[in-house]
Amino acid sequence: MSVPFDPASYDRQLAEKAVRLRELLAPFDAPEPQVFDSPREHYRLRAEFRLWREDQKRHYAMFAPGDNRTPILLQGLPIASERINALMPVLRDRWEASGVLSHKLFQVDFLTTLAGDALITLCYHRPLDEEWTAAAEKLATELDVSLIGRSKGQRLVIGRDYVTEELDVAGRTFSYRQPEGAFTQPNGTVNQKMLNWAYDALGTRDDDLLELYCGNGNFTLPLATRVRKVLATEISKTSVNAALANLADNAVDNVTLVRLSAEELTQALNEVRPFRRLHGVDLKSYAFGSVFVDPPRAGMDPDTCELTRRFERILYISCNPETLAANIAQLHDTHRVERCALFDQFPYTHHMESGVLLVRR
């Protein structure tokens, strides 16, 4: 659910989220949450627009939830990054001047970074040919972007199919490849604050870390510098490939990444059954002291939640405070909430990102 874009009311909206998080964590005697705010505008690094024909022209359009018939026509988008807003009118001018670029174009996606990189995806209801490729190559050069053309059965890449982000954590800059179509944190400024909080909350350890749902290695890279070694899991092939590239690019060499779901790894650690994807990985060689989880909105399933109970420390980042509270309730008899935080990844909506550090009683 969204609320009106109104920077003047931002502080009030953020305070209301903090109240909501306190109420959800109150049954667990949680300490006062640290609150990390967002830029009031130009904070979102990616955006997707449908194109809507009106007055013989195509316009950027979005739709209210549940209504795909009434377009909201846009010249710019104040919540989107400054790079996206700068690219929008220039790109529109280029497709209006080119029948090759505009013919049956129905969607435009932007992916940008704090570091200034940009990737544009153009989606078509027609096959893309050599004429389109030549026009797209010229466009990519003019706009200084990478560009992807998509149509049924086609994916043509001009430049790279990822952007590169740079995030500073505890005085070190980490470089991240963020592929088109893969999940990345949409609010880069708040993501950087979240990484620094998690880095500080974990502390320097002399044992090992288990990470579930590692994605492209967003948290893996800085947290790996705090422990002896890491076993990380992710199920998405695209994210696994990005994470492996990011580990290599940043010379982080104490991480083993396996393509397993959290549920499958739980079965492996409980010796329910072996997995070929764990061939060569000696699970018994790890001295796990901490587990880091960043699950989807549904939270951890009961078996995975029970798995985390065996660790001294549980560092939990959540995009859904209700399922976070439900998981803490399952763990509350053995673990207490030592630290908690609110990260305002999604201003002007009721969504919030939160984090807790649970420590064994």
**Tokens (6 digits) for 285:** 């060689």
Tell me which residue has tokens 């949409």.
186
Q: Are residues 157 and 256 in the same domain?
A: no
pLDDT band at 270 (very low <50, low <70, confident <90, very high): confident
218 in a labelled binding site: yes
Let me know whether 81 and 215 are in one domain: no
In the three-class reduction of DSSP (H, G, I as helix; E, B as strand; rest coil), residue 86 is classed as helix
Mean pLDDT along residues 169-188: 95
Mean pLDDT of 169-194: 95
In tens, the pLDDT along 135-154 reads: 999 999 999 999 999 999 99
pTM of the model: 0.94
Residue 261 in any domain: the answer is yes
**Catalytic status, residue 340:** no
13 marked as binding residue? no
Q: Are residues 25 and 54 part of one domain?
A: no
pLDDT at 161 over 90: yes
Mean pLDDT over the full length of the chain: 95
Express each pLDDT in 300-347 by its tens digit. 999 899 999 999 999 999 999 999 999 999 999 999 999 999 999 999
Measuring CA to CA, which residue among 265, 348, 352 is closest to residue 317? 352
Q: Are residues 159 and 204 in the same domain?
A: no
Residue 64 shares a structural domain with residue 18: no
User: For position 286, what pLDDT does the model report?
Assistant: 95
- Within this chain, do residues 234 and 286 fall inside the same structural domain, yes or no? yes
Q: Is residue 179 part of a domain?
A: no
When divided into structural domains, the chain yields a total of 2
Which residue, of 95, 130, 163, is where some domain finishes?
163
- Residues 355 and 210 reside in one and the same domain: yes
Q: For a pLDDT cut of 90, what percent of the chain falls above it? A: 88
Q: Over 80: is that where the pLDDT of 256 sits?
A: yes
Q: How confident is the model at residue 183 (pLDDT cuts 50, 70, 90)?
A: confident
Establish if 234 belongs to a structural domain.
yes
Phi/psi for 147 (5° steps) reads: -145, 140
Q: Encode burial over 344-361: b for 16+ CB neighbours within 10 A, e otherwise.
A: bbbbbeebbbbbbbbeee
Q: Which of 130, 163, 196 is the last residue of a domain?
A: 163
Residues 78 and 216 in one domain: no
The catalytically annotated residue of 41, 211, 264, 353 is 353
DSSP annotation of 351 reads -
Residue 69: per-residue pLDDT: 83
- Whether 132 and 208 share a structural domain: no
Task: Pick the catalytic residue from 214, 264, 305, 319.
Answer: 319
According to the annotation, is 254 in a ligand binding site? no
In a domain, 61, yes or no: yes
Give the CATH number of the domain where residue 86 resides: 2.40.50.1070
The pLDDT assigned to 68 comes to: 80
Same domain? 350 vs 205: yes
8 Å CB contact between 246 and 231 = no
141 in any annotated domain: yes
Q: Check if the beta carbon of residue 290 is closer than 8 Å to that of residue 310.
A: no
Question: What is the spatial distance between Cα 74 and Cα 58, in angstroms, rounded to a whole number?
Answer: 11
Tell me the DSSP string of 204-227: --SSEEEEES-TTTTTHHHHHTTS
Q: What was the pLDDT predicted at 2?
A: 58
Is 322 annotated as catalytic? no
The answer to whether residue 182 sits within a structural domain is no
Q: Are residues 242 and 317 in the same domain?
A: yes
What pLDDT, on the 0 to 100 scale, is given for residue 307?
A: 92
Q: Which domain holds residue 281?
A: 7-40+187-360
Q: How many CB atoms lie within 10 A of CB 329?
A: 12
Asked, for residue 291, whether it belongs to a domain, the answer is yes
Instruction: Provide the CATH number for the domain around residue 287.
Output: 3.40.50.150
pLDDT band at 3 (very low <50, low <70, confident <90, very high): low
Q: Is there a domain that residue 176 lies in? A: no
Same-domain check for residues 34 and 57: no
User: 261 pLDDT band (50/70/90 cuts)?
Assistant: confident
